[in-house]
Amino acid sequence: MQISVIIVSYNVKEFLYQCLVSLRKALEGIGSEIVVVDNNSVDGTPIVVEENFPDVKLIRNDKNYGFARACNQGLKITRGKYILFLNPDTIIQEDTIRTMLSFFEDHGDAGAAGCKILNSDGTLQLPCRRSFPSPFVAFTKLVGLSRLFPQSRLFGRYNLTYLDPDEVYPVDAVSGSFMMIRREVYEKIGGFDENFFMYGEDLDYCYRINKAGWRVYYVPLTKIIHYKGESAKLANFDNIITFYKAMDIFVRKYYGRGYSAITDVVLRTGIIIRGVISFLGKLLKKYSILIIDTVLIISGILVAHRFQPTPLPPYRILFSLIAIYVMIWIGIGYVVGLYDKRELSYSRALVASFLSFTISAVINGVLKASLYSPKFLIWSFVLVSILLPGWRLFVLVLQRRRLISPSSFISRTLLSRRVIIVGAGNEGRRVAKRLHKHLELGFEIIGFVDKEFIPGRINEFPFLGTVRDLPEIIRIHRATELIFTLDRFNNNDILTIMDSIKQMRIHARIVPQQLDYILGKSSVEKIEDIPLVDVDYSIYRPVNKILKRTFDIVVSFFLSGFTLFALPWLYLVGFRLERGRFVGVEGKIFSGFLLKRGKDGGGNTFIEKLPLSLSVLRGDMSIVGSELVKPNPSCVYLRCKPGLTGLGQLQKNSCVGKEANNFEYYYMLNYSLFLDIEIIVKALLKI
């Protein structure tokens, strides 16, 4: 066995496929083995490897363990005289393996070597040859001196930019994206240091190789292409911060306390600055609409002061008014759903303006001595009502007229709609084709998700994975919208999927074939002949969650008191308490008490369920919810907490199976506090 190749993969199945194809050609006629260690990819990477490269040894991890640990897993099962660590987002030349093997045979002092690595545009990838990050080298890299003076021997040492990229010479370190070592190296110094999750582990390994007496060579006699950072794009960490942390670990490990003390401040300052910039950037993008609204509200209030009939008040009162009005407006905006979806709704902005004005007028009437004149309040309302819906309408007009580029900052920040199509059938392909024609509307199709794995691309878009992994797929691809197609998923399927992602900020829509289901409070956006109907489960809204839980606590408190008071009288007429076990939301089992009368009674009426008000108070149940059921093998999966009453319980017979699912679906879609009150009233009338 001449050579063993170890590849660590994470959600880059298409790049990995091309890498393995090129690697197979380069290994022709050479005794070799390939090991792929997959760090829990959700895009079907293991299936692609198994179906297309059955000779490859595949290790499946149950989570992302990082590069160092995954490499060590591969090292334990390799047998080659030489070992090559190769990134999955690379393409190697046909002569690369032979050239590197020949180099090792001619250079007995070589413990490790890396070839010339090019970016996809043909330029040299600087990290393919590096110096160790001593305090001074790390400092020049962090502050940007290495970039300003690349030809300087003093400042260009980190990436050795002052050296000829076409000459062979020993270096401190080469890139882990292509690093070949002798087996004796592994046998002597062991595997990678697993304290490095990503970045820095190759520097650390090269340092140990040098320390053990071997040399590390840069060999530009052959080259590869590296599509740098493809796996890192989908990781749930900041790459730059991770890079700085890796540098910090390296310096602390190999340089003395004096060096660590010198560099500690520099490195940690760099990490903090980068972290703050990254945090502010994400905050700006995530809350950009809210930030714009806040600035315009403040501007409107300040302009309204010009119409004040009396002199301006002290700044303390002015700032108090601004703070109060901003909180009222933003709060109302959340209540009417202005910020829970990534869309510019000028109609909701107008409604929020009117409601905010009404509430502010009431407050002003109660505290008229400390606030402003009605004239000022009216002018504030008029200006805010023009500015907030107005800027949304203006941006949407520019978008529709294609006056804003899809790649512009405005489009990416305010109008970006990163879409995952759930359903890879004919309807899904049709939707993808239509949406792709309307780039001016901000649609960016990330790819498809379906029930089963589908190899290859669909309408030139990638298959991202199965619905089982949808939460992870949404996270790693930073999707903002889902579009369900009903030729692959029915209403119950969609409800189950929505339940699994209810904690995520995602806008879900349906492409209806036949409108034979409840649309509830949906809105419709039409793209050519495709109506996109919002899937808006009211019960998942944050405000409704708070309202429902508050209502449950208040009502259950009084019901519990009434039950304790009435219990002696109920005992006199033949009722007895019986403890039972019940199915809660998402399969949770809880215990509670029912009133039982006679042999056949036990929990079928509202009165018999009264003791369960204590379970409502604990949070295991709700006043209004799904059917109360006991654990059994065929038990349905509850998405709503079981209730003392509910839509299903109002029927003459208990509802199970598909009928119960339909009631649960309707209730979640159309939930409101008034609906709960109506159900309770009907339950009491039924008694």
Domains, the chain, with CATH or none: 3-250 (3.90.550.10), 288-400 (no CATH), 416-536 (3.40.50.720), 542-686 (no CATH)
Q: Mean pLDDT over all residues of the chain? A: 80
Q: Is 5 helix (H, G, I), strand (E, B) or coil?
A: strand
Does the pLDDT of residue 353 top 50, yes or no?
yes
Give mean pLDDT, residues 681-685.
Answer: 78
**422 versus 309: which is more confidently predicted?**
422
65: Cβ–Cβ under 8 A, 6 or more apart, which residues? Answer: 39, 73
Locate 115 and state its tokens. 């070839």
Round to whole Å and give the CA distance between 70 and 24. 22
Q: Is 530 helix (H, G, I), strand (E, B) or coil?
A: strand
Would you state the pLDDT for residue 203?
A: 85
The number of beta carbons lying within 10 Å of the beta carbon of residue 434 is 15
Locate 148 and state its tokens. 């300003």
Would you state the pLDDT for residue 441?
A: 66
Mean pLDDT lowest for which of 16-25, 250-259, 291-300, 394-403? Answer: 250-259
Per-residue confidence band for 520, with pLDDT thresholds at 50, 70 and 90: very low
Outline where DSSP puts E strands in 516-668.
524-527, 530-534, 575-583, 589-597, 622-624, 643-645
Does the pLDDT of residue 659 top 60, yes or no?
no
CB 584 within 8 Å of CB 615? no
CB 5 within 8 Å of CB 86? yes
Give the bridge partners for 461, in sequence order: 458
Phi, psi of 482, deg, nearest 5 = -115, 140
Per-residue confidence band for 215, with pLDDT thresholds at 50, 70 and 90: very high
- Give per-residue pLDDT as tens, 600-640: 555 556 778 888 989 999 999 999 988 888 887 666 667 78
Q: Name the one residue in this structure whose structure tokens are 């890879």.
A: 424
Round to whole Å and give the CA distance between 615 and 609. 10
Would you state the pLDDT for residue 514?
A: 44
- Above pLDDT 70, what percent of the chain? 79
105: Cβ–Cβ under 8 A, 6 or more apart, which residues? Answer: none
Per-residue confidence band for 515, with pLDDT thresholds at 50, 70 and 90: very low
- Packing angle of the helix pair 135-143, 257-286 (nearest 10 deg): 20
Question: Number of H helices and number of E strands within the chain?
Answer: 23, 21
Q: Is 293 helix (H, G, I), strand (E, B) or coil?
A: helix
Per-residue confidence band for 516, with pLDDT thresholds at 50, 70 and 90: very low
Per-residue confidence band for 152, with pLDDT thresholds at 50, 70 and 90: confident
Give mean pLDDT, residues 160-181.
Answer: 91
Please state the three-class secondary structure of 207-241 as a single string: HHHHHCCCEEEEEEEEEEEECCCHHHHCCCCCHHH
Q: Residue 336 corresponds to which amino acid?
A: V
Round to whole Å and give the CA distance between 372 and 317. 10
Start-end of H helices in 437-539: 470-477, 491-500
Give the bridge partners for 349, in sequence order: none
201: Cβ–Cβ under 8 A, 6 or more apart, which residues? Answer: 67, 68, 71, 176, 192, 193, 246
Q: Which long-range contacts (CB under 8 A, 24 or more apart) does 348-355 make?
A: 349/293, 349/388, 349/389, 349/392, 350/385, 350/388, 350/389, 352/388, 353/329, 353/381, 353/384, 353/385, 353/388, 353/389, 354/381, 354/385
Does the pLDDT of residue 229 top 70, yes or no?
no
**563 versus 315: which is more confidently predicted?**
563
Give mean pLDDT, residues 209-229.
Answer: 90
Q: Which helix (H) or strand (E) holds 91?
A: strand 90-92
Count CA atoms within 13 Å of residue 66 on its CB side: 17
Q: Is 519 helix (H, G, I), strand (E, B) or coil?
A: coil
- Give per-residue pLDDT as tens, 383-435: 888 888 888 888 877 776 767 766 666 766 677 778 999 999 888 898 888 88
Choose among 540, 493, 495, 489: nearest CA to 511: 489
CB 667 within 8 Å of CB 534? no
Round to whole Å and give the CA distance between 444 and 411. 11
- Above pLDDT 90, what percent of the chain? 22
CA angle 658, 661, 664 (to 5 degrees): 155
Choose among 296, 298, 301: nearest CA to 312: 301
CB 431 within 8 Å of CB 483? yes
Round to whole Å and give the CA distance between 361 and 371. 10
Round to whole Å and give the CA distance between 199 and 243. 6
Give mean pLDDT, residues 575-591.
Answer: 85
pTM (2 decimals)?
0.65
Round to whole Å and give the CA distance between 242 and 262. 20
Round to whole Å and give the CA distance between 313 and 267. 49
Q: Which helix (H) or strand (E) holds 242?
A: helix 239-254
> Which pairing describes strands 443-450 and 457-458: parallel, antiparallel, or unpaired?
unpaired
Choose among 634, 679, 671: nearest CA to 656: 634
Instruction: Tell whether the torsion through CA atoms of 616, 619, 621 and 625 is positive or negative.
Output: positive
Distance of CA 442 to the CA centre of its chain: 19
Distance of CA 390 to the CA centre of its chain: 31
Would you state the pLDDT for residue 99?
A: 95
- The b-or-e profile of 257-273 (16+ CB within 10 A means b, else e) is eebbebbeebbeebbee
Task: Say which DSSP state 180 is in.
Answer: E
Would you state the pLDDT for residue 239?
A: 58
Round to whole Å and give the CA distance between 533 and 523. 6
**669 versus 352: which is more confidently predicted?**
352
